[in-house]
Amino acid sequence: MESIITAVIIVAAIGLIAGLGLAVASIAFAVPVDEKAEAIRECLPGANCGACGFSGCDGYAAALSSGEATDTTLCSPGGNDAAKAIAEVLGVSAGDVKPKVAVVLCQGNHANVNTKLDYNGVESCKMAAQLFGGPKDCIYGCLGYGDCVKACPYEAIFICDGVARINPDACKACKMCINTCPKNLIELLPLDTVQAGVFCKNRDKGAKTRKQCKVGCIGCMKCVKACEYGAVSVKDNVAHVDYEKCIGCGKCAEACPVKAINLVDIKRH
């Protein structure tokens, strides 16, 4: 009996000392914390996944409060709810956060683009791209080996006829696929807004592009002339749309002779 009492006393004493020690230490060694950072930290899910590019939720919160980071939408697990909550804490109006979805800007499926070699290597875009830029004639296009499919934590991406496609219902705009794509084909486009999008990244001269792909941008400037708002420009033989200026009138898409420009109207169901 006595030994049990000694055991209880010793363990309890050690626990008490440890607890009191920690309590004293947390006061004595208290580091002044940024209240704003603390409030932002509360909005984050606390998964410490690192998808935002910082050393965890604490790191992201500290960066936001110190002004080091301004983008409140980097937290992919928290999604739009977290982004809105952070925006509120920071005093940025929540309306500033426009929901976006990732879109693969390539239409080079098997019907539109020819293949130049028979690739039998590792099923990976990164690997295939190192062999003459990939098996397709167009070295700028989607290779369709699904590196983005593997990178996507939400299973939003699938390969359709040799080109990756993203399901806007599942996409959380976490940018994992954007960082993975070796051809830099994926971009974030605004959700629920009618806008023009150039579905091509081919920087070759028009005549060469035409031979490679039926729907490749040939840099003919027709879209630039058609646009009344100066939203379309051609650089390196490929058209770009300034999403800030574009109102989604669709004149550039009508003018495009190869249908590389499409009106996109992405909606979630």
Residues that bind other proteins (CB under 8 A): 3, 6-7, 10-11, 14-15, 18-19, 21-22, 25-26, 29-31, 48, 55-56, 121-124, 126-127
Nearer to other proteins, 6 or 66 (CB): 6
Q: Per DSSP, what are the bridge partners of residue 213? A: 113
Nearer to other proteins, 106 or 128 (CB): 128
Minimum separation from the CB atom of position 126 to other proteins (A): 7
Nearer to other proteins, 16 or 94 (CB): 16
Dihedral of the alpha carbons of 198, 200, 205, 206, in degrees to the nearest 10:
-70
Neighbouring C-alpha atoms within 13 Å toward the C-beta of 82: 24
Minimum separation from the CB atom of position 151 to other proteins (A): 12
* Cα(259)–Cα(199) distance, integer angstroms: 9
Nearer to other proteins, 6 or 179 (CB): 6
Minimum separation from the CB atom of position 100 to other proteins (A): 28
The closest alpha carbon to 212, from 158, 139, 144, 153, belongs to 139
Residue that is written with structure tokens 């005093």 in the block: 91
Minimum separation from the CB atom of position 71 to other proteins (A): 22
Calculate Rg over the CA atoms of the chain: 26
Cβ atoms 255, 188 nearer than 8 A: no
Nearer to other proteins, 26 or 93 (CB): 26
Minimum separation from the CB atom of position 70 to other proteins (A): 22
Nearer to other proteins, 62 or 166 (CB): 62
Dihedral of the alpha carbons of 206, 199, 231, 79, in degrees to the nearest 10:
-150
Minimum separation from the CB atom of position 123 to other proteins (A): 6
The closest alpha carbon to 57, from 71, 35, 73, 75, belongs to 75
Cβ atoms 190, 98 nearer than 8 A: yes
